[in-house]
Structures are given as structure tokens and as C-alpha cells.
């Protein structure tokens, strides 16, 4: 297991949900710092940076300025400058990032816009070209900056859960099974074509039903663990899940 993987673990079926998450590691070590906290924070930022990029773009900055500001924000964040003000009651990574970025734009946005582009230290590899394409595709979504941020955050959580689950199936030698079944994760049970799936997978209809049931169950577990990874206390998990699901439910 790598250092990043040891920072947080997806709970096994029947196991404990809240082990040690990356965000709780960051909070615990925000003053002295340390390699574990640094790696945990870098992983979180690398996974959830797009909602922040879109927040900057939605605040009126050009693509080039948004790229520079997002990179500069992470430079400050990873240097622990912003972590000193984090308190337990602000223990949701989603809320912390939004508040920190808004404060960063107010304090440093205009100064950094006037500097030569490319002069800052790049600490994360960000696919800003793809991010801008996504932002343009999302342009028809909610125009409120905070609502847009929450929407993109929820989708980032969903993508992270799917990625973890896909990796899990691939490591178990079941990549083809995941590719066949993944499109039915959110399909209404009465609309799942089990006979067609069984034929495509060269198995029985009963086996197809079991495989889809297990996949959907495991996805719920992984999605829950992904959300738990972004809060500091186990008590915050249920409400964060409700909020994320409400946002996803509002997306047409």
C-alpha cells in the first residue's frame, strides 16, 4: 500500500466507514505539517481542483488568469499558509476550499493578475485545457457561483467514486465486468435488461442480477467513503451525503 493509500481506506463490506481520512490527517497536522499531511492534501487538491477553477472562471476571470490563480492558490495552500486558520467547525473540505479561494481572490487576485503569467511555482499537474472545455460545456448550468461550485463538487465526488470502483474491479481481474455493468449503476431496477446483460456477459440471467446487485452495493459503499474522505469528523458524514445527493438530484 502506498503512502497516499494509507491516508484513507475504502471501508470493506461490513467494515468501519470512518477510518483515517486524508482531510482529518491534514487537519491534525496543519500546524507542524509533515509528509503524511502534505501527501494527503496534495491528493485531495489533485482530485477536487476543477470546481475551484470553475469558481474562479465564474467570478469573471479569463481562462489564462483562472489557470494562474488556481495554481497560485494551491501553491499557498500546499505551503500551509491557509491551513493555520482552519478550525474543527470548518471541517468540510468542500466548504474550506470555497472560503479559502474567495479570500484568496479578494486578497491576491488583482495583484497576481498584474504579474507575468507563468512566474509562479507549479505544484500540481492540472489539465487546464480540459478544465476549460468542461467549463464551457457547463455554461448552461446554474449561474450562481456557489450553486455552480456545489454542483461541480458533487460531480467530482461521483467521478472519484467511479474511478475508485473501476480500479478496484480492474485489480480484481474484472475490468470487463465493470465496463459491461457500469452504465446500470443508476438505472431503475425495473428497467435493467438482465437478459441482454446475461447474453453480453455470456452468463445466466440470475448471475447477471447478482453481479449488478453487488456492483451497486459496492458503489454506494465507495461513494460514501469518498465523501467521508472530505470531512473531518464521522458525525458530519450523513449530512454531507444528504447535501451531495440533493445537489446531484437537482442536475437535469
Res 217: pLDDT: 96
Res 144: pLDDT: 83
Res 6: pLDDT: 37
Res 139: pLDDT: 65
CA distance 16 to 242: 20
The domain in which residue 228 lies consists of 3-249
Unique residue bearing C-alpha cell 437535469: 252
Res 251: pLDDT: 79
Contact 215, 77 (CB under 8 A): no
- Phi, psi (rounded to 5 degrees) for 101: -65, -40
Query: How much is the pTM?
Result: 0.82
Res 112: pLDDT: 60
Residue 165 buriedness (CB in 10 A; 0-12 / 13-18 / 19+): buried
173 conformational bin, left if phi > 0, alpha if psi -120 to 50, beta if neither: left
Q: What are the residue ranges in the chain where pLDDT is below 50?
A: 1-19, 116-120, 122
Contact 93, 156 (CB under 8 A): no
What is the number of domains present in the chain?
A: 1
DSSP-assigned letters across all residues of 134-189: HHHHGGGS--SHHHHHHHHHHHHHHHHHHHHHHHHHHHTT-HHHHHHHGGGSSS-G
Amino acid at each position: 500500500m502506498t503512502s497516499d493509500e494509507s491516508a484513507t481506506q475504502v471501508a470493506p463490506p461490513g467494515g468501519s466507514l470512518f477510518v483515517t481520512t486524508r482531510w482529518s490527517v491534514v487537519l491534525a497536522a496543519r500546524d507542524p505539517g509533515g509528509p503524511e499531511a502534505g501527501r494527503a492534501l496534495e491528493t485531495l487538491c489533485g482530485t477536487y481542483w476543477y470546481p475551484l477553477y470553475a469558481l474562479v472562471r465564474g467570478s469573471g476571470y479569463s481562462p489564462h488568469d483562472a489557470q494562474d490563480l488556481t495554481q497560485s492558490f494551491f501553491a499557498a495552500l500546499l505551503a500551509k499558509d491557509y491551513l493555520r486558520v482552519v478550525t474543527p467547525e470548518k471541517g468540510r473540505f468542500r466548504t474550506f476550499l470555497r472560503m479559502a479561494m474567495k479570500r484568496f481572490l479578494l486578497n491576491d487576485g488583482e495583484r497576481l493578475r498584474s504579474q507575468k503569467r507563468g512566474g509562479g511555482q507549479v505544484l500540481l499537474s492540472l489539465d487546464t485545457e480540459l478544465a476549460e472545455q468542461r467549463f464551457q460545456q457547463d455554461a448552461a448550468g446554474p449561474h450562481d457561483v456557489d450553486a455552480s461550485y456545489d454542483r461541480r463538487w458533487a460531480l467530482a465526488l461521483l467521478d472519484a467514486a467511479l474511478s475508485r470502483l473501476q480500479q478496484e474491479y480492474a485489480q480484481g481481474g474484472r475490468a470487463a465486468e465493470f465496463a459491461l455493468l457500469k452504465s446500470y449503476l443508476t438505472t431503475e431496477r425495473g428497467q435493467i435488461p438482465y437478459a441482454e446483460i446475461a447474453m453480453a456477459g455470456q452468463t445466466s440471467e440470475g448471475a447477471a442480477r447478482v453481479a449488478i446487485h453487488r456492483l451497486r452495493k459496492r458503489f454506494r459503499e465507495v461513494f460514501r467513503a469518498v465523501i467521508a474522505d472530505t470531512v473531518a469528523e464521522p458525525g458530519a458524514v450523513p449530512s454531507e451525503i444528504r447535501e451531495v445527493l440533493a445537489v446531484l438530484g437537482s442536475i437535469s
